[in-house]
Structures are given as structure tokens and as C-alpha cells.
């Protein structure tokens, strides 16, 4: 970002990239035409942060706080990130899950102003020109969605834009990626949510979703328009329907710097959680049996990454995949079923049908169950009790988002397992007091993975993102949990130190990028210092 603002006077106060509000010094006010436009007091960034905290305390709901912070991001970017990075554990649930789910559902009714880019399918043939309207030329990270499978909430159309905006805020707040490198994108291909189509306030195209060759051509045009306009950019695919997510990733992963966070980011944070659980259990990954509740992109993505990690401990890929099982609305996913997708087939095994999940637990005797079903309460008391009979330390991961979709709560998992469960969820839960101990639930949030991966990619100029980078990131995350945290049940680094954890993970990932010859620059002598040198800090520059 240039050190000096590109505007002055009244316009400068409405440019969030450079606005400092009451922190402009007397010399800056004189030089930049701001005299008379601001109150007389000169205030520090710290005082401004304190004011924001006070204003937030006066609000009644998390959604109101989300909207307030969104407005702050739109008027003073530095102050916004100073607030978030000062207390990430407090603010992550406000700017992303679980609050972002409600924000996306009500996006059209609370719309304040544009942020990011909206690329409609009606503009096909012109996406290259539309992307040129973005004011920043050095875009390095694009988070893009078509709004079809937003969290566990389904098709929210243009309202899905809340996801790319929120994800990129976390790139900066939790990974130190400078915000001017980030671009949120909504690909508007219509919506099949008829309640939205009938809502006069809906902001997206009023048509049903484009499918088939036209959709594929639109995606391809978008990718090539990005490559032409922002040749150093990494594309992160977010919340696409399963039948689109896997083909898109397969089509571009070997030729473009790209990844799918629902498939690969979720997989890496789940693998990190398993590595953390294995530190408690003192067992090997290759000896685990995993049962997934859900058989979509998230489940198969996690299963594939776990399988690849198991091969690093000596199993063949076939043996590793045989230790990962899927369960969906029709029961255990077996090889004789005729409705399997290509990405499900590697995990469809020979087994008699089992119509209920507790029966599947008893039949397969998994060491770990992972919920990615988006259906709440399916990890019922009989399921948890069965896991506790089979395992001394059952691993229970209800990862569905938002909180209302979680397969069970932390308290349920701890109580029904007699306090023996190793627990992590997709959305946050409060600590649980049980048996004279305070048990701290982990949150298997992708925020442990994608911001760190992003900083590593930014620092190294990585040209591709192979699967092994996600395994490296997962190991790096798990290794940062202290023994005392493990004793309390926590298997992820505490979110209060997420930036430091991300910087450490980024350095480990960057090391592998250099090792694999994927970097666009020579290997530095001190990779850790090199990576940290790219990290953004919310500090006002001096203008003039």
C-alpha cells in the first residue's frame, strides 16, 4: 500500500484505507485539507479502540455488533483491525461464525454499501473488464463464493457475500495478511431460494441458478480474468455446492494457485484436531478408525487428507482409505450403492447396510466420529455412550456450523461420555465443569489454517498449493498446544494467541514451499523472520 493517501480533504475521511479519524495530527490536518472537518482533540489509536469497545458494549445483540464492526471496516480499516487483533478470541465469533450466518441470511435487509466485487452471469464475456474496476492492482487473495451452500444454511444467493468478506477479515486479523491484498467476490449465477426471489429487497439476480456448460464456462472465464488482472493472486473457493466444489478444484488445482477451504481447509483443521487428540491418547494416526456423519465435500475432503497423512506412517493409500468411513441419510456408504459420486467412491467399502448411526458406531467401532452433516443433535446420547464404551478416550468432533447446526454440544459430549471425550466443534462452546474439572472445548475452526497458509503463500510467492502443505499446516497447529492445555481437553492453540500461532504455522508451511520448489523467490536464511516481515500490523502511518 502506498505510504501516502491518494485523496485529501473530505474525501480522505471517507477512504477507509487511509482514514485516521481524530488521530490525524495538526500537521496532517493542515497539509491534507482536514482543518475544520474534525473535532479539535487529537486522539491516539488506543483511545479510539477504547471508544469502539464502549460503543460495542452498548449494543444488545451479536448481529448489531457485527453490523457496527462492518461499518467500522468501511470507514477506518486500521482501527477495525486494531480492534480485532487486540482481542481475537472475542471478535472472531462476531465477524465470522456463528454471527456471520445470521448476517448472510439478513444480508439484503441490512445492506449498508458495497464491499468487494459482484460478478453476475449476465456479464459473461466481460469479467476481465469488470475486475479492472477494483481499485487495488496488487491483489493476492480472492475468496469467492456463488452463495449456494452457505455454512449449513443452504442457498442464500447474493447474501453469501458475507462469507468472503468475513474470511478475508480473518486473513488479516488472524494471519497478518495485509488487507489491501484481499478481494472478496460473489459470483451471481442466480438462486433457487424462492423466498429470496420473492423478496423485494433481494440484491441478487432474480433468476434460478445457471447450471451445466454455461456455469462451467462462467467459472472458467472468471479464473482466466483473475489470472490476467491479478497474476499473483491465490483463489480460495468457498461454500459451493458439493457437485460443483469438487470438479472446480480438480479442474484448476494443478494449474492455478488455488484451494477449496471447505474441502482442504476443513480437512486440515480436522487433521490438526486429530493430531492434538493423539497427543492425549498417545496413539498413532495409522491406528485410528474415522466415521463421518455426512458424505459431502467436507467429509470426503477430510477423509482424503487423513488418508494421505496415514500413508506417511506406512500405510498404503488403499489401507488408509479403508480406515475412513462415510455415513449419510441412507446409512453407511457402501460400494454397492448406485448413487455414488466420484469423490465418494474411494470411501465406499464393502459392508452390510446399517440404517442408523448408533448401529454404525457399534458395527465399525471408530476411534473418532466427525460430524459434517449440518443436521443438529445427531450425535445423540446413545451415540456418545456407544463411543465411550468402545474407547477409553472417544474423539467427538461435531464440526457443522453455525452453532444451531452442531451435531451435539460440548456439555452433552462430556456428560454422556463420563468426562472422557476429546471434543472439538465447528462453532464455539463455553468451558464445561464436570467431575471437579473444567474442560475446555476446542473449536475446529479453519481460521487456524487458511490465514497462515495465506501468509506463507504471500511471503514465498507460491505458484501451487499441494495437499502436503495442508498436512504440514495441521502438524504445525497441533504442535503448538501446550501439555497443560491438553490436560484441560484443549487440542487447538487458544484463540487469544491466534496471530502468533498463525505466524508459526506460516513459517513451517513456507519452509515446505521452498523445499518443494514451489516458491517464486530464493530461499532466505531465516524463514521465520522472513515470513514475519510480511505480516500486517494495525498502526497509523505518518502522512506528510
Domain assignment present for residue 285? The answer is: yes
- The pLDDT of 84-98, averaged and rounded, is 93
The C-alpha cell at 486 is: 491438553
Where is the domain boundary, 205, 232, 256? 256
Are residues 185 and 131 in contact, defined by beta-carbon separation less than 8 angstroms?
no
Contact status, residue 391 vs residue 383, Cβ threshold 8 Å: no
The last residue of one of the domains, among 211, 228, 256, is 256
Does 105 fall in a domain?
Answer: no
Angle between helices 162-175 and 498-515 (to 10 degrees): 90
One domain, residues 340 and 284: yes
Q: Are residues 378 and 509 in the same domain?
A: yes
CATH of the domain at 459: 3.40.50.720
pLDDT tier at 428 (50, 70, 90 boundaries)? confident
Which residues are known to be catalytic?
A: 96, 167
Place of cell 460440548: 410
Q: Say whether 154 sits in a helix, a strand or coil.
A: strand
Q: What is the CATH number of the domain that holds 248?
A: 3.40.50.10380
In a domain, 1, yes or no: no
- 184 and 328 in a single domain? The answer is no
Query: Number of folded domains in the chain?
Result: 3
CA distances from 166 to 171, 173, 203, 249, 471 (A): 9, 10, 19, 22, 24
User: Burial letters for 203-241: b for 16+ Cβ neighbours within 10 Å, e otherwise?
Assistant: bbbeeebbeeeebeebbebbbebbbebbebbbbbbbbbb
Q: What's the pTM?
A: 0.93
Kindly state the DSSP code that residue 256 receives in the 8-state scheme.
S
Average pLDDT, stretch 424-441?
94
The set of cell numbers assigned to 357 is 448411526
Mean pLDDT for the stretch of residues 161-175: 97
Q: How far apart are CA 293 and CA 372, in angstroms?
A: 6
Provide the b/e sequence for 372-397 (b: ≥16 CB within 10 Å): bbbebebbbeebbbbbbeebebbbbb
- Confirm if 326 and 369 have CB atoms less than 8 A apart: no
- The mean predicted confidence, pLDDT, of the chain is 96
What percent of the chain clears pLDDT 90, i.e. is strictly above it?
92
Do the domain assignments include residue 104?
A: no
Q: For position 1, what pLDDT does the model report?
A: 46
Residues 119 and 33 grouped into a single domain? no
Q: Residue 3 falls within a domain, yes or no? A: no
Mean pLDDT value across residues 245-258: 96
Q: Are residues 179 and 316 in the same domain?
A: no
- For residues 302 and 236, membership in a common domain is answered with no
Q: What pLDDT, on the 0 to 100 scale, is given for residue 3?
A: 61
**509 and 399: one domain?**
yes
Query: At 148, is the pLDDT very low, low, confident or very high (cuts 50, 70, 90)?
Result: very high
Tell me, yes or no, whether 357 and 463 share the same domain.
Answer: yes
Quick check: is 179 in a domain?
yes
User: How far apart (Å, rounded) are the C-alpha atoms in residues 125 and 494?
Assistant: 46
| Residue 446 included in any domain | yes
What DSSP designation does 225 have?
Answer: H
Same-domain check for residues 282 and 380: yes
State yes or no: pLDDT of 2 exceeds 70: no
In a domain? residue 344:
yes
Percentage of the chain lying above the pLDDT 70 cut: 99
| Each residue's pLDDT tens digit, 275-307 | 999 999 999 999 999 999 999 988 999 999 999
> In terms of domains, do 285 and 363 share one?
yes
Checking if the pLDDT of 463 tops 60, the result is yes
CA distance 141 to 467: 19
> Which tens digit of pLDDT belongs to each residue from 103-136?
999 999 999 888 999 999 999 999 999 999 999 9
Domain match, 371 and 456 both: yes
4 — pLDDT class (breaks 50, 70, 90): confident
Q: Is the pLDDT of residue 6 over 90?
A: no
The CATH number of residue 65's host domain is 1.20.1370.30
Asked if 510 contacts 469 with a C-beta cutoff of 8 angstroms, the reply is no
Residue 162 has pLDDT above 60, yes or no: yes
DSSP H helical segments within 315-449, as ranges? 317-321, 357-364, 381-390, 410-416
Confidence at 61, pLDDT banded by 50, 70, 90? very high
Domain finish residue from 39, 64, 95: 95
- Note whether 271 and 300 are same-domain residues: yes
* Span 342-355, pLDDT tens digits: 999 999 999 998 98
Range of the domain at 34: 9-95
Amino acid at each position: 500500500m502506498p505510504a501516502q493517501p491518494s485523496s485529501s480533504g473530505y474525501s480522505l475521511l471517507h477512504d477507509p484505507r487511509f482514514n485516521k479519524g481524530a488521530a490525524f495530527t495538526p500537521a496532517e490536518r493542515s497539509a491534507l485539507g482536514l482543518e475544520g472537518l474534525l473535532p479539535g482533540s487529537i486522539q491516539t489509536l488506543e483511545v479510539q479502540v477504547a471508544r469502539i469497545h464502549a460503543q460495542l458494549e452498548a449494543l444488545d445483540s451479536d448481529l448489531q455488533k457485527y453490523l457496527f464492526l462492518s461499518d467500522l471496516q468501511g470507514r477506518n480499516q486500521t482501527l477495525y483491525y486494531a480492534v480485532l487483533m487486540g482481542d481475537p478470541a472475542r471478535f472472531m465469533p462476531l465477524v465470522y461464525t456463528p454471527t456471520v450466518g445470521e448476517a448472510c441470511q439478513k444480508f439484503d435487509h441490512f445492506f449498508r454499501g458495497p464491499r468487494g466485487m459482484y460478478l453476475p452471469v449476465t456479464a459473461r464475456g466481460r469479467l476481465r473488464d469488470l475486475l479492472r474496476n477494483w481499485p487495488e492492482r496488487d491483489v493476492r487473495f480472492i475468496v469467492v463464493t456463488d452463495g449456494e451452500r452457505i455454512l449449513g444454511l443452504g442457498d442464500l444467493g447474493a447474501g453469501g457475500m458475507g462469507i468472503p468478506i468475513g474470511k478475508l477479515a480473518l486473513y488479516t486479523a488472524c494471519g497478518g495478511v495485509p488487507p489491501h491484498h484481499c478481494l472478496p467476490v460473489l459470483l451471481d449465477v442466480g438462486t433457487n431460494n424462492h423466498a429470496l426471489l420473492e423478496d423485494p429487497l433481494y440484491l441478487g439476480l432474480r433468476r434460478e441458478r445457471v447450471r451445466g456448460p454455461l456455469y462451467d464456462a462462467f467459472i472458467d472465464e472468471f479464473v482466466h480474468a483473475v489470472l490476467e488482472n491479478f497474476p499473483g493472486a491465490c483463489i480460495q473457493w468457498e461454500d459451493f455446492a458439493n457437485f460443483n466444489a469438487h470438479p472446480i478444484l480438480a479442474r484448476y488445482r494443478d494449474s492455478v494457485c488455488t484451494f477449496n477451504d471447505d474441502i482442504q481447509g476443513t480437512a486440515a483443521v480436522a487433521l490438526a484436531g486429530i493430531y492434538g487428540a493423539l497427543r492425549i491418547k498417545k496413539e498413532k494416526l495409522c491406528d485410528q478408525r474415522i466415521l463421518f456423519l455426512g458424505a459431502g465435500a467436507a467429509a470426503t475432503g477430510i477423509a482424503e487428507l487423513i488418508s494421505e497423512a496415514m500413508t506417511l506412517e506406512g500405510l498404503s493409500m488403499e489401507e488408509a482409505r479403508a480406515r475412513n468411513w462415510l455415513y449419510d441419510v441412507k446409512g453407511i456408504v457402501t460400494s454397492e450403492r448406485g448413487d455414488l459420486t466420484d469423490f465418494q467412491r474411494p470411501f465406499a467399502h464393502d459392508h452390510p447396510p446399517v440404517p442408523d448411526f448408533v448401529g454404525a458406531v457399534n458395527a465399525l467401532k471408530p476411534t473418532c466420529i466427525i460430524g459434517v452433516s449440518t443436521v443438529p443433535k445427531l450425535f445423540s446420547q446413545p451415540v456418545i455412550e456407544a463411543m465411550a464404551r468402545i474407547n477409553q478416550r472417544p474423539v467427538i468432533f461435531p464440526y457443522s456450523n453455525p452453532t444451531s447446526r452442531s451435531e451435539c454440544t460440548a456439555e452433552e459430549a462430556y456428560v454422556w461420555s463420563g468426562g472422557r471425550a476429546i471434543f472439538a466443534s465447528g462453532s464455539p462452546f463455553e468451558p464445561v465443569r464436570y467431575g471437579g474439572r473444567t474442560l475446555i472445548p476446542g473449536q475446529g475452526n479453519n481460521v487456524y489454517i487458511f490465514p497462515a497458509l495465506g501468509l506463507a503463500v504471500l511471503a514465498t510467492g507460491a505458484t501451487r498449493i499441494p495437499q502436503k502443505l495442508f498436512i504440514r499446516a495441521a502438524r504445525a497447529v497441533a504442535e503448538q498446544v501446550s501439555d497443560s492445555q491438553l490436560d484441560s481437553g484443549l487440542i487447538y492453540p487458544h484463540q487469544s494467541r491466534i496471530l502468533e500461532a498463525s505466524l508459526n504455522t506460516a513459517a513451517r508451511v513456507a519452509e515446505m514451499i521452498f523445499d518443494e520448489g514451489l516458491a517464486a523467490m530464493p530461499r532466505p536464511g531465516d524463514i521465520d523472520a522472513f515470513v514475519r516481515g510480511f505480516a500486517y500490523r494495525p498502526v497509523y502511518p505518518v502522512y506528510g
